[in-house]
Structure 1
């Protein structure tokens, strides 16, 4: 890629191998092994300080590199369509096809709309020809590039050492247009020297490139910079350089998924100084990549709270949504990142009061609660909300999010409406189940007609078991008092089934198919129960009683644990057990072949399976005497011993061990029960009318006020150690910013005093008149600095710490942590240490 050091732990991709073994004439000048004509020559004069030697080397660079450049290094405009076709040729390994069609994106919206929505930022390197077609300024000849579309500057920066970096700087100084050249191969398309300087963490090289007008909004959209599960889903279009994805579904996991833009690269690599440099030179902090992720989204994906704060302070829109409809908060919830979810909620909350280590604040419900109040469909279910994402997911990481604020909201819903409706469902279902079972229990025993055969096929349906068909056929003469009770119970059962199905149809009309379907997915036993309502002759309704136990803390975890054992442990055991059972039973059939039949095994494979199953249950008394009837009884007994050891001892004990391990995860099961309980609350919530949801939300929340729309839930909490340390670091950062501002004020004051003294001395000597405009400017600046100082003092909770900070700094300018890492230590330049504080 553009930086081998950052990907040294990865296996080489196809692009890396091609780049290393390519046969381009570029590699005669420089290659990845540190050789080449230019590198060899630069190595000879690297330590020389002779101006003439340096001048001769610059001339050597001009003479050697100029044949590889367009217009003697001034570059030329190349149509974007040509570059895209060239990129596709690189993707095919250099095979050119003149009539090959590029894939077109046809999923949800047109490519034009995607480009307009997500790539509306001018990268600074695109221009237009006389026909209005987009073109890119290209300096290095396309036909004389490396195997993945690189030039000599890319090769030097790829090696990432001081020697080759100095050479790259020298080449760019001679040919400044090379600062704008990018990789043209599909693997790393769009990566320029600025991207590589950021990945190399070279602040001074980045500043050098920006001073030479390197575009700060250049897009690196090569395959290497996409999530791993999207690399084969990229789609090109000849009208645009940008690459889109045919499927937005992704987990955002990628070794070099840095967000395409230089600012996003710097944020993902935590290069705050480079971020500040890029923003000062026009980098757009809300620019989105092909997945619709901005810098703020990427800091959430990379779990970088400090860089998220930096982006927020510099104007990042944390409420903007990516292609999948997630903002920063919901994206953190989707990825199961508890730290970022908590961090964003802390930034969004509105504090009311703090008493010691106890605080009270209001948390906005936007994007947090399942009840939507912003999309125009007020009262509808927000499937992209944090609460819905956490509760409906089966990812174990989301279990850790079921605490604090989320549980507080669920408990409020449970107390207001979910508990009441849950018990209503429970009582209604118990009554329905009693009637259902009573209707079947009161069925008369089977009595065949005298004139018919007593041999009845097992699969015949006895329609006279049910009373309703008999009444319909006019058989009223056989009805007695017991049948009247049956008739009532059957009618109640049918009515109850129709009532449940009718409520499902109402939910479909009220909520829509997707929401109701999701609620059925979260409660599969409810789906089975509704199915049983349509097929009341099948006794599936009894399974639904297990779903109702999810609302009880006492038995809920154990029901879930038994379900886990059945779906996991017992399923594995049965698979292995059936394999051994079938194998040994057929061996027994072969062993008893030719004996004329045995009472237990005979010559039937099915009877043999039945017999071996009885053996595995420990019933040996009736079967063991049959072993002596086999042609080789000793062999049969040995086979029997092996079967008992494997089936009875090994497999059964393995099943017990697996179940024991499952039982030991009771703590995790209790967390899982909490999620099942939460799903029950949300399932009940979907059955409520939207207007009623809004009414309930007004009861467990309050208006934000102070000109803010929306509602919030008020919560009190006690500060933990992590929150204390984070608050302390924020105070220290504010103190350092204040001290830095005071230092700048002092410098400005000294400068103004020097100018005033110069003017005063000149007036005293009678050489000039006082420049009133300068004096007024000085007074205005002093007043402005005083106002800024007052504003910062108002934001610091403990102004007494300012004196301590300035005293430790010795009256000198304190440096930021980033500056402290990149500069020499100086006794006069100290910073307030959070540990000392």
Structure 2
């Protein structure tokens, strides 16, 4: 995306190529008032006008007939002249001073040249006109007079860089109350451009660009984001505001409303529906809800990226409502991580991350646990992700178990490890054939696993190294490399060195074995994302390691290093002996050794009597007791308290925390799909219109159809929450809706309650839903279906008789 600061400069240059740059340093502007001595009524060098004995310096803006005041706004408001009159709403003085001539330069006769009236030419400290100021102060009589007598200001903009591009109509939209359209109507009827200049000043840039007032940049965007619904309607219906104009970020009006999240739902729906009317009537080719900004995000995705869950309610399309029960459909194209989808084989590239990926990136528990997101995750889990997950989990568990067994069967000598058949068999080389089987099984498993990883790299490309599974992939590859390194050490390196060097190779192999064993079982922890009860516990463990333990260890090391130095000075010539070390160990004679001994105190691996041999036994014993109190009593209890706090925090919200991990799992499985797999599942997942077969190479629009009702909140009965009753997730080949009833069973959920017949969705003669444990009742009639059938037959027979 282009630099917004550059956009501002370009906009000013477009307004007037000779205009001074917006930077204060370059144009010589000053925020402080410039006070001058009494001079004639014109000055060729400084270009200023007098105001009741005071003078303000003005500087011409390029070649425009506009002159920027070098004084501050506050100084102007106290000048006892034109600007103070406008500020205070003094209409008589405004009439008096605004029509005075503004002198600039000398004419052909050597007299002061009149550039225009003061009202037309003067600009305030931020480049505003007197009309801007009158509107901000809401002085209606002054506004009406200026509009009538100084017509050239109607579309003038702020000229300084902070608020550049802001027109009187922009100011009026923000300053007016929602039920008062009088100023807006006055400006529009007198020629104000509704679809005209955009505000591109630095204060109106996005938050990420250090702006503070981003409300979009068009008139309509200003009205929509400041909760002025009636003004929005006026602009659209009377002033003919263009709904499809975008700002420098590519954001349309719905993008800007979604960006802030604090929008009027009625205004959002009004603009969305009005655009759909125009789109269906072919009055515009732009569908606002499907339009993408420069970050390739739709309004729905932008709202999700900002953490605004209320945007989800705005994508609902109501079908019918019966009391507290209602049915609506929600498009899932921007939500589903299998995106984008084209009908052609050559278009497998992605335009942007889906909403579910964005929410997972942000670890947004509120959005991830919304019924829409949760439903999509559960359907994908039941359709294909559960099967893929279980297969990978079982195969990986078998691989790690095989590797662990092979470790347990390893002899203690390198020549025994190389010996599987014949020759003398040492006592440590028990079951060599069994060991060989498990070692070969482990190597074959690793090779197969890496072959799958290469396939994933081909499908995911750079996402493989930066996506949700990057940590998992790093552990998996490290484990695999260590396993493949073992036969290289055992048969390759040993063959290249003499037998007397095999002991070093054996030690190296043992280290590699150990590290691989640790990484293998750590890798298994990533599969806890698929387990509802274990997943939060692993999350607690990883959070403790990454946050709590690192914080605690910094305190512990600071205390330990300090006490190690003090004890080292007392014990540096004292040998240490333990029950397992009959010979003296001179670890105290260096600082590092002393530090290791102090660390051993934490694990009760020390002998108090050793300190009696110190240079100052009493002082050394005092240090030992003090250190023990600080570490064993204070620091350990601090660590325990932090662990308890972390566990309570995660446990309190464990379900939602796990849902975020579960979303990472599903999105990770989606990212591993090939282009053909994506197209296949797109054909089966999501309800679509019967007559919608897709256009311009884009597949049909997909939806979920929800039926929900309001129920009392179990936590606060005085409040209402929504409960999903049933959900249509697809359309069968014979036109029937595939309907499920949600419930909380993770491993068998969403698999038992398909209410209507589902045609044969086949891929290579297989029914996708049946293959993934979704039970169908095709060819059978339930008792309610029979009753309905009898009722309709009776009614139809009666109608025929009549």
Q: Of Structure 1 and Structure 2, which has the larger fraction of its residues in helix?
A: 1
Kindly indicate whether the alpha-carbon contact (under 8 Å) linking 1:585 and 1:605 is maintained by their aligned counterparts in 2: yes
Indicate which of 657, 668, 676 corresponds to 1:683. Answer: 668
Deviation of 1:673 (Å): 1.4
Deviation of 1:408 (Å): 1.4
Aligned to 1:516: 464
- Give the secondary-structure state (helix, strand or coil) at the position aligned to 1:715: strand
Kindly indicate whether the alpha-carbon contact (under 8 Å) linking 1:381 and 1:686 is maintained by their aligned counterparts in 2: no
Paired residues in the alignment total: 587
Deviation of 1:503 (Å): 0.7
Deviation of 1:194 (Å): 1.9
Say whether 1:337 aligns with 2:308: yes
Distance 2:365 2:106 in 1: 55
User: Given the superposition, is the C-alpha separation of residues 602 and 28 from structure 1 closer, same or farther in structure 2, using an over 3 Å criterion?
Assistant: closer
Task: Provide the aligned C-alpha RMSD in A.
Answer: 3.9
Aligned to 2:266: 306
Kindly indicate whether the alpha-carbon contact (under 8 Å) linking 2:359 and 2:367 is maintained by their aligned counterparts in 1: no
Kindly indicate whether the alpha-carbon contact (under 8 Å) linking 1:370 and 1:383 is maintained by their aligned counterparts in 2: no
- Give the secondary-structure state (helix, strand or coil) at the position aligned to 2:589: coil
Indicate which of 87, 105, 128 corresponds to 1:150. Answer: 128
User: Given the superposition, is the C-alpha separation of residues 299 and 581 from structure 1 closer, same or farther in structure 2, using an over 3 Å criterion?
Assistant: same
- 5 Å-filtered alignment, 1:487-498, equals 487-498=436-447
Indicate which of 173, 189, 209 corresponds to 1:198. Answer: 173
Aligned to 1:290: 248
Aligned to 1:36: 79
Deviation of 1:530 (Å): 2.8
- 5 Å-filtered alignment, 1:562-641, equals 562-592=541-571, 602-619=588-605, 622=607, 624-641=608-625
Indicate which of 506, 527, 530 corresponds to 1:551. Answer: 530
Aligned to 1:125: none
Distance 2:204 2:362 in 1: 29
Distance 1:314 1:646 in 2: 69
Distance 2:144 2:70 in 1: 19
Kindly indicate whether the alpha-carbon contact (under 8 Å) linking 2:544 and 2:643 is maintained by their aligned counterparts in 1: yes
Deviation of 1:22 (Å): 3.9
Deviation of 1:29 (Å): 10
- Give the secondary-structure state (helix, strand or coil) at the position aligned to 1:559: helix
Deviations 1:809-836 (CA, angstroms, capped at 9, x unpaired): xxxxxxxxxxxxxxxxxxxxxxxxxxxx
User: Given the superposition, is the C-alpha separation of residues 399 and 199 from structure 1 closer, same or farther in structure 2, using an over 3 Å criterion?
Assistant: closer
Distance 1:44 1:321 in 2: 42
Deviations 1:690-746 (CA, angstroms, capped at 9, x unpaired): 434444444443332355733323333223589x9999xxxxxxxxxxxxxxxxxxx
Indicate which of 199, 209, 213 corresponds to 2:191. Answer: 213
The one of the two structures with greater contact order (alpha-carbon pairs below 8 A, sep at least 6) is 1
Indicate which of 705, 709, 716 corresponds to 2:707. Answer: 716
Q: Which 10-residue stretch deviates more, 433-442 or 379-388?
A: 379-388
Distance 1:680 1:286 in 2: 38
Deviation of 1:516 (Å): 3.0
Indicate which of 381, 384, 406 corresponds to 2:353. Answer: 384
Distance 2:311 2:154 in 1: 37
Distance 2:155 2:432 in 1: 91
Distance 1:66 1:167 in 2: 24
Say whether 1:25 aligns with 2:57: yes
Aligned to 1:176: 151
User: Given the superposition, is the C-alpha separation of residues 194 and 264 from structure 1 closer, same or farther in structure 2, using an over 3 Å criterion?
Assistant: same
User: Given the superposition, is the C-alpha separation of residues 181 and 649 from structure 1 closer, same or farther in structure 2, using an over 3 Å criterion?
Assistant: same
Kindly indicate whether the alpha-carbon contact (under 8 Å) linking 2:128 and 2:158 is maintained by their aligned counterparts in 1: yes
Aligned to 1:423: 390
User: Given the superposition, is the C-alpha separation of residues 419 and 593 from structure 1 closer, same or farther in structure 2, using an over 3 Å criterion?
Assistant: closer
Deviations 1:409-453 (CA, angstroms, capped at 9, x unpaired): 22112122222222211221122112212222222113xxxxxxx
Kindly indicate whether the alpha-carbon contact (under 8 Å) linking 1:525 and 1:543 is maintained by their aligned counterparts in 2: no
- 5 Å-filtered alignment, 1:654-733, equals 654-665=638-649, 666-705=651-690, 707=692, 709-719=700-710
Kindly indicate whether the alpha-carbon contact (under 8 Å) linking 2:336 and 2:354 is maintained by their aligned counterparts in 1: yes
Kindly indicate whether the alpha-carbon contact (under 8 Å) linking 1:225 and 1:258 is maintained by their aligned counterparts in 2: yes
User: Given the superposition, is the C-alpha separation of residues 166 and 31 from structure 1 closer, same or farther in structure 2, using an over 3 Å criterion?
Assistant: farther
Kindly indicate whether the alpha-carbon contact (under 8 Å) linking 1:338 and 1:401 is maintained by their aligned counterparts in 2: no
Distance 2:85 2:439 in 1: 97
Deviation of 1:664 (Å): 0.6
Distance 2:291 2:74 in 1: 42
Deviation of 1:321 (Å): 0.6
User: Given the superposition, is the C-alpha separation of residues 29 and 433 from structure 1 closer, same or farther in structure 2, using an over 3 Å criterion?
Assistant: closer
User: Given the superposition, is the C-alpha separation of residues 170 and 637 from structure 1 closer, same or farther in structure 2, using an over 3 Å criterion?
Assistant: farther
Aligned to 1:653: 637
Aligned to 2:217: 260
Distance 2:366 2:301 in 1: 15
User: Given the superposition, is the C-alpha separation of residues 218 and 73 from structure 1 closer, same or farther in structure 2, using an over 3 Å criterion?
Assistant: farther
User: Given the superposition, is the C-alpha separation of residues 466 and 266 from structure 1 closer, same or farther in structure 2, using an over 3 Å criterion?
Assistant: farther
User: Given the superposition, is the C-alpha separation of residues 35 and 376 from structure 1 closer, same or farther in structure 2, using an over 3 Å criterion?
Assistant: farther
Deviation of 1:483 (Å): 3.3
Indicate which of 473, 480, 500 corresponds to 1:533. Answer: 480
Distance 2:707 2:310 in 1: 19
Distance 2:633 2:707 in 1: 56
Deviation of 1:659 (Å): 0.6
Distance 1:323 1:544 in 2: 38
User: Given the superposition, is the C-alpha separation of residues 276 and 646 from structure 1 closer, same or farther in structure 2, using an over 3 Å criterion?
Assistant: same
Distance 2:455 2:703 in 1: 31
Distance 1:652 1:36 in 2: 69
Indicate which of 406, 409, 423 corresponds to 2:373. Answer: 406
Distance 2:125 2:343 in 1: 53
Aligned to 1:62: 99
Any unmatched runs of 5+ in structure 1? 1-12, 49-53, 76-137, 232-253, 447-461, 728-837
Kindly indicate whether the alpha-carbon contact (under 8 Å) linking 1:218 and 1:261 is maintained by their aligned counterparts in 2: yes
- 5 Å-filtered alignment, 1:732-743, equals none
Kindly indicate whether the alpha-carbon contact (under 8 Å) linking 1:363 and 1:714 is maintained by their aligned counterparts in 2: yes
Deviation of 1:73 (Å): 7.2
Kindly indicate whether the alpha-carbon contact (under 8 Å) linking 1:319 and 1:327 is maintained by their aligned counterparts in 2: yes
Deviation of 1:501 (Å): 0.8
Aligned to 2:405: 438
Kindly indicate whether the alpha-carbon contact (under 8 Å) linking 2:229 and 2:266 is maintained by their aligned counterparts in 1: no
Distance 1:690 1:697 in 2: 11
Deviations 1:752-800 (CA, angstroms, capped at 9, x unpaired): xxxxxxxxxxxxxxxxxxxxxxxxxxxxxxxxxxxxxxxxxxxxxxxxx
Deviation of 1:477 (Å): 5.0
Kindly indicate whether the alpha-carbon contact (under 8 Å) linking 2:157 and 2:165 is maintained by their aligned counterparts in 1: yes
Distance 1:65 1:30 in 2: 19
- Give the secondary-structure state (helix, strand or coil) at the position aligned to 2:689: strand
Deviation of 1:655 (Å): 0.6
Distance 1:596 1:690 in 2: 69
Kindly indicate whether the alpha-carbon contact (under 8 Å) linking 1:266 and 1:275 is maintained by their aligned counterparts in 2: yes
Deviation of 1:208 (Å): 2.6
Any unmatched runs of 5+ in structure 2? 1-22, 35-55, 59-68, 108-112, 276-286, 484-511, 578-584, 694-699, 714-718, 723-802
- Give the secondary-structure state (helix, strand or coil) at the position aligned to 1:186: coil
Deviation of 1:619 (Å): 5.0
User: Given the superposition, is the C-alpha separation of residues 580 and 355 from structure 1 closer, same or farther in structure 2, using an over 3 Å criterion?
Assistant: same
